[in-house]
Amino acid sequence: MTGKQSPREPRLPPPEEPPWTLPWNEAPLAFVDLEMTGLKVASDRVLQVCIERVVAGELVDQLLSFVRPPDGQVGPHQAIHGISVSDVAEAPAFEELIPRIDTLLDGAIFVAHAARHDLEFLRAEYARAEGACTCSHYLDTLALSRRAFSAPSHRLHTLATRLGIEVGRAHRADSDVAVLRQLFERTVGTLRATTPRELWALQASRRVASPHILEQAKQAASDGKAVWLNYRPSSRSVQRFRFHVTAVRTDLDPPVVLGYLQHTRGRRQLRADRIVRIESDDDSQNAP
């Protein structure tokens, strides 16, 4: 499912413990996409589920299955997802898939595009089966791509095409997960968070600065050395420039980084929530 709304992130941050505090090459990620009969969580049902559990970029386990709804019907969205009555006729009911879903999600970070929508459908299906989906936090490539890229649309396949990511059959769960994984990798590469928890902080609110970025900015001001900044102005692509940080104002909302551009000596006041990366000269040698 590639919903277009911007899901609200839970207010409380994820716990300061694994998997959220693990480096990316250790954190298990569960990439999720669902196809449904419609958009109403209370009445529509899941028709297809794809979950790929990935560690360090490698697929370690997966589930791809059609799902048979109780009435055997595929709903008014058949023209969108292309799933037919015959596709689901012999498929398992959702409750039969719960043990596999539990295994794939256990201890992993839930990743999806418009993630809250998919998670709400999972919770509703679990509740109908008298179970409980325990995922409380997630990473949402819809919210994160808006932090990383300037684009007229952040729909999954529209954005993927703009970024040169190969798009397969839209609105099929396995195809959408393949696109989702590539988009996620590109987004993480741009935002350059070191842990999932740092990335969650970037998506939580457009006015929330990453604690990691604030600490780096304070260190740069203390060192008195120029650093490289990747900065995302409003409605524009990320800019990269060399910057001397002179002060950090954390008493403002959002916090502000003060300093000047090295090449023009022009004074700048930068919103810290729009800084997506700070690098020293040594770090910049490995920058993309």
Q: How confident is the model over 39-52, as a mean pLDDT?
A: 96
Q: Please, what is the average pLDDT of the chain?
A: 89
Residue 183: both structure tokens together: 């988009």
Indicate if the pLDDT at residue 17 is higher than 60: yes
- pTM of full prediction above 0.75: yes
Task: Kindly list the structural domains of the chain, giving each domain's residue range(s) and its CATH number in brackets, ordered by start.
Answer: 29-202 (3.30.420.10), 208-283 (2.30.30)
Whether the pLDDT of residue 227 is over 90: the answer is yes
- Contact status, residue 59 vs residue 48, Cβ threshold 8 Å: no
Which pLDDT score, from 0 to 100, does residue 4 have? Answer: 45
Mean pLDDT over residues 250-264, rounded? Answer: 93
pLDDT tens for each residue of 141-162: 999 998 888 788 999 999 999 9
The closest of 107, 155, 190 to 5, measured between CA atoms, is 155
Sequence-distant (6+) residues with CB within 8 A of 69 are 37, 45, 46, 47, 88
Least Cα distance to 184 among 203, 170, 212 occurs for 203
CB 32 within 8 A of CB 206: no
196-204 vs 173-191: helix crossing angle, rounded to 10: 90
Place of tokens 């980084």: 257
> At 244, which helix (H) or strand (E)?
strand 239-249
The beta strand positions in 40-137, using DSSP E, are 46-55, 58-66, 109-112
